[in-house]
Amino acid sequence: MYIDKRDRKRKVLAFQYDGDMQTNEGDMLAPEFVAQAFKDRALFYDKIVKFNLWCVEKSSMRVVNVGDYIVQLPDGHITAMSKNLFNSLYRKEKTTCY
């Protein structure tokens, strides 16, 4: 879980895309929210153009590049953003063990 640097109450789920999200057997290597986004067609591979991964956002579509983050916003929508943009907006939530 990641916390918005500007609004600490706003938390997002995020996954850094490394170019591969499935095993050869078809099992997902990504978190559940990413698997659900594939089922909902918010994420899909374009088999015509170099197998690009696409993210269908609220009002547009964009290619997800290796190193980009796939983010589930608090409202449930999926978006993709560059590593630099993600790191400027969010930080990893610190967990405390007792």
pLDDT at 21: 79
pLDDT at 59: 85
pLDDT in tens, the chain (98 residues): 788 788 888 899 999 998 887 777 878 788 999 999 989 999 998 877 767 899 998 888 999 999 999 999 999 999 999 999 999 999 888 765 55
pLDDT at 98: 57
C-alpha distance from residue 40 to each of 36, 77, 87 (Å): 6, 11, 27
pLDDT at 5: 82
Smallest CA-to-CA distance from 37 within 1, 69, 82 is with: 69
pTM of this structure: 0.84
pLDDT at 77: 93
